[in-house]
Structure 1
């Protein structure tokens, strides 16, 4: 008989965070239900069948801390994990009074969150029956478990309770050579459109969740962090000059702090609508899908276009430099163009039609180059692919 899946209630008012958590939980073998506000969360907990609650603090109708107090009245043994942008120590102390098992600060590390849930649910009771009766009422006095230890790691605070023992995160898998990585990865979201390599980690973005994600270069391409871009929709990424660069749906270019992903500078162009970016070691380059131009930008306060070249394809969606070659992913032709740059001219040296994309079933939406590998992402499929450079199926000197 198949083992019943654990069910987790996601009480979160942000649709983007809800969608991310639903997908991540699904990929890790959990069932989930959602609530958009505190009152809806209480109603679903009263109905029973929950094994754990992921509870946002800032929610409409009933905030997370008040909802937490009511949850513990309804079902004192139900594990609750708080997630919030708040750094308020008073909120943390209030949460500890109600015996939360973990407290994550947004933006949180999704890998650490899933690891914590796995630990909690390996020892927590299975979907206990919910006592009948009203939500409010006199609480039966009981002895609260005393926190045995607290573990501070990144933006998360893990409270080790007597009921569960001290929570310890398993160590992340050590980094491995990209040559040993699988050729296909499933991402916990469906519409990746950009990908970039920073020398150690892979970055991706998803236009539907408006998130930028940082992944470890391990066997699972583990998501290490994610960042919500609430004021724009990221479509393409590049890494260069110690920063992550993004192109928004509106054609604006942004430079992000690599640690916090806060936007440092925003650039708008009167004559360009960039769809992709790349860094050659000295300059930033862009492709414009409307004019089919490749532009080199001055590294000044305006990031102005210094020189422009014609692009031989039809709809550039991603680009990357390696040596003197510029690689461009084309959505319409489902091809990757390799352009040799010599004497201030671009010459097409190779055209690659890659197996996951060439039949049109998996859209080609972004490209990055890492050590010995070409990476592509596929919008609509939630997949990312690694292609060893030495075995790319190319056509030399196409006419």
Structure 2
């Protein structure tokens, strides 16, 4: 069949015979579908990356918060330890008398002062007993200060000044010509040097001197109240330290076997052991051995018990604080005049009894409070050890100590 190029077929044939484009580009419709698929994939990837970044930031924030909390906990523990070890203890009450408080810090400061004064005088404070004893002394001094007006004890500023001058003002030799102004200047220099070395101010030292003078006045009143005569026993005694290598029971056995009392006493203590005439009340720990004692029975009646020792008999070991005694009465009880040395001993004993009675009464009635134990004792001794004063010892100008 003839394929003639008829006019009405030319357009269709031309279209049919037209080859496809060879440019290599995808048709628009196909490109649009592919672009839509690529756009969805990119968006998902971006969302996933964003999610990962958000999760990472959350983890970092959590790590920072946890780290900060741990740091705060550690700092809190350290600060709590510092507070308990260094800030709280000095403020803790150690004792109180009718609202007048003594803190742990006050106790440390007073021991430091005592150490400084003791070293200034060439001594050495024993901290094994000082904290407990000094707290008791502080309470005793405050009880006496509050009771002084009722006891008729009146210590004036002039009394305090006179006492301080007697301790630090140089005393001229008899017949020596001196300038009072020069002595006063030396007194001021010596006193200020003392206060500087022991790290003490004038007001605090005057308070200490006031306490000493009040105790001296109490002692004088007790001394004046003593009788001229009293029942007495002639006595000899051997004293042993609690750390002595000599066993008290072995010493007693030697004496009972007939060894000379004075010889054994001199061997163990360096003294012959003779005490002299001892009145009732001079050594309370010996009274029941030498004079017997009175007690109240169940019916409320006073019963007298005889002395535990007969003349010449050796006592069992008698334990008194840091000393162990073995005593022997030489003769029977006699009423006789009290010797001056024993009067002073009896007055001192009565002062101690008054202090102990007042402390016991205050504790019972609640106006004395004590808050001190072994842990606080350890803290006090450690603080004192770390900050003990270093002073240059100087000889005393006059008799008498700077502390009792």
Give TM class, smaller chain. Answer: under 0.3
Instruction: Give the helix-richer structure, 1 or 2.
Output: 2
Q: Which has the higher contact order (CA 8 A, sep 6+)?
A: 2
Instruction: Give the strand-richer structure, 1 or 2.
Output: 1
> Which one has the largest radius of gyration?
2
